[in-house]
C-alpha cells in the first residue's frame, strides 16, 4: 500500500495501490484479498488524496475473487465500465465536469471464409486417326465446376432453414487459463484464476473458424470486403470481414456441436439459393465477389506488418498490394 503525509502533519495514511495513467487519472489493480470495511476506508482516503492532486479518472480493476468489493465501490459513486472472464472494471470521474473517459469497446469483429476449390481438370482425351487425311488428335477438356466450402448451422437464426452458407465466426480475444481452482471445493474468496490475454489477428481467426467447423485446413489469402452493422450483439456494432482462403486439405470433418452439415458445393448452386438472389443481400454481394475473383477481375487487401510509436505489439495494415505496386 502507498503511504502519504496529510497536510503539514506527521501523520501518514495508507492509500490503495495505484499507478498514474497518461491522461491525468489513476488505475487501481487489487490482487490480495481484502475485507469490505478495510477497502472502504482506503477508498475514501484515496479519493480524497486524488482529488487534492487534481486527478481525473479513477479506474478500479477488481479480480473475480474480490467480487465482494463491488457493492462498496458502486456505493462510492463508481460505475461499471467493462467485464472480462476474470475481472470487473469500475470507473469514477472526479472533476465536476463532463467525463471524457473512453467508452467500452464499441465493436466486435466477425469473419467469413470463402474457400474455393477451382482446379480445372482434364477428364479424358479422344484420339482419332484417318488414313486418307492427316493424323490428328483431339483433346477434350471436362473442367470440373468451381466448388465452394459451405455449411448448414445447427443453431442460430439459420437453423433448420436448409440454407448453405460460408463458414463464419468471431475473432476472439484468446484467454489462456493458467491456474484454476473449482468453486465447488474452495471458498470463492480464495479462488485463484489467472488469465493470459492475447489478441487474435483476422487471418488467424478465419483459419481457426474454418478448421473448427469443417476440419479443412486453409491458408489466408486476402480480405475481399467488410461490412459494418449496428446494434448487433448486445447493442454493439459489428465489423464482418469477408476473407479469401486457399484450401490445403479437402476431406470434411464437421464440428458436430455447431454444424449440421458441410460440403463442397458448385458455386452456381450456392448462388442459386433464394436467399442469395436478393440483390442487396450480403450473400448476393459475396457471390459476386467470388465470381469476380474466379475471373481474376478483383484484388483484395493483404496484411502487411507495421510498427507503432506507441506500442511494440505486432500490428498490420491491410491494403490492395496489386494496385499499390
CA distance 198 to 183: 25
CA distance 110 to 170: 4
Q: Which three cell numbers stand for residue 95?
A: 472533476
Cβ atoms of 166 and 179 closer than 8 Å = no
Report residue 49: phi and psi, to 5°.
Answer: -65, -40
Known catalytic membership, residue 212: yes
Among 45, 96, 39, 99, CA closest to 67: 39
Question: Which are the contacts of 242, defined by CB distance < 8 A and separation ≥ 6?
Answer: 111, 112, 114, 223, 224, 225, 226, 227, 286, 289
Q: Is 27 helix (H, G, I), strand (E, B) or coil?
A: strand
Q: Is 313 helix (H, G, I), strand (E, B) or coil?
A: coil
Q: Do strands 315-319 and 18-20 pair parallel, antiparallel, or not at all (unpaired)?
A: unpaired
Selecting among 29, 212, 258, 260, the annotated active-site residue is 212
CA distance 8 to 13: 13
Q: Which three cell numbers stand for residue 9?
A: 502533519
Question: Which are the contacts of 216, defined by CB distance < 8 A and separation ≥ 6?
Answer: 115, 149, 210, 247, 248, 249, 250, 251, 252
Cβ atoms of 203 and 303 closer than 8 Å = yes
CA distance 301 to 203: 11
CA distance 270 to 268: 5
CA distance 176 to 194: 8
By annotation, the residues acting in catalysis are 212
Amino acid at each position: 500500500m502507498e503511504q502519504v503525509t496529510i497536510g503539514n502533519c506527521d501523520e501518514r495514511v495508507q492509500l490503495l495501490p495505484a499507478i498514474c495513467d497518461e491522461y491525468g487519472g489513476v488505475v487501481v489493480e487489487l490482487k490480495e484479498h481484502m475485507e469490505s470495511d478495510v477497502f472502504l476506508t482506503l477508498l475514501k482516503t484515496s479519493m480524497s488524496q486524488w482529488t487534492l492532486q487534481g486527478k481525473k479518472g479513477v479506474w478500479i480493476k477488481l479480480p473475480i475473487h474480490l467480487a465482494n468489493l463491488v457493492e462498496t465501490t458502486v456505493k462510492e459513486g463508481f460505475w461499471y465500465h467493462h467485464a472480462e472472464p476474470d475481472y470487473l472494471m469500475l470507473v469514477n470521474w472526479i472533476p465536476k465536469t463532463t467525463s471524457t473517459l473512453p467508452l467500452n469497446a464499441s465493436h466486435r469483429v466477425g469473419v467469413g471464409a470463402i474457400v474455393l476449390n477451382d482446379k480445372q481438370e482434364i477428364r479424358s482425351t479422344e484420339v482419332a486417326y484417318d488414313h486418307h487425311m492427316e493424323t490428328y488428335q483431339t483433346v477434350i477438356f471436362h473442367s470440373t465446376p468451381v466448388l465452394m466450402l459451405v455449411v448448414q448451422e445447427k443453431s442460430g437464426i439459420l437453423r433448420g432453414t436448409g440454407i448453405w452458407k460460408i463458414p463464419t465466426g468471431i475473432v476472439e480475444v484468446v484467454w489462456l487459463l493458467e491456474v484454476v481452482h473449482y468453486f465447488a471445493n474452495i471458498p470463492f474468496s480464495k479462488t485463484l484464476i489467472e488469465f493470459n490475454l492475447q489478441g487474435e489477428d483476422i487471418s488467424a481467426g478465419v483459419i481457426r473458424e474454418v478448421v473448427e467447423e469443417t476440419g479443412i485446413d486453409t491458408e489466408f489469402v486476402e480480405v475481399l470486403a467488410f461490412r459494418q452493422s449496428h446494434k448487433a450483439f448486445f447493442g454493439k456494432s459489428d465489423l464482418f470481414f469477408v476473407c479469401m482462403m486457399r484450401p490445403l486439405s479437402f476431406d470434411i470433418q464437421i464440428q458436430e456441436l455447431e454444424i449440421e452439415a458441410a460440403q463442397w458445393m458448385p458455386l452456381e448452386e450456392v448462388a442459386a439459393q433464394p436467399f442469395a438472389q436478393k440483390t442487396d443481400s450480403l450473400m448476393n454481394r459475396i457471390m459476386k465477389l467470388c465470381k469476380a475473383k474466379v475471373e481474376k477481375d478483383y484484388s483484395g487487401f493483404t496484411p502487411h506488418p507495421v510498427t507503432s510509436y506507441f506500442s511494440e505489439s505486432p500490428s498490420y495494415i491491410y491494403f490492395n498490394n496489386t494496385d499499390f505496386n
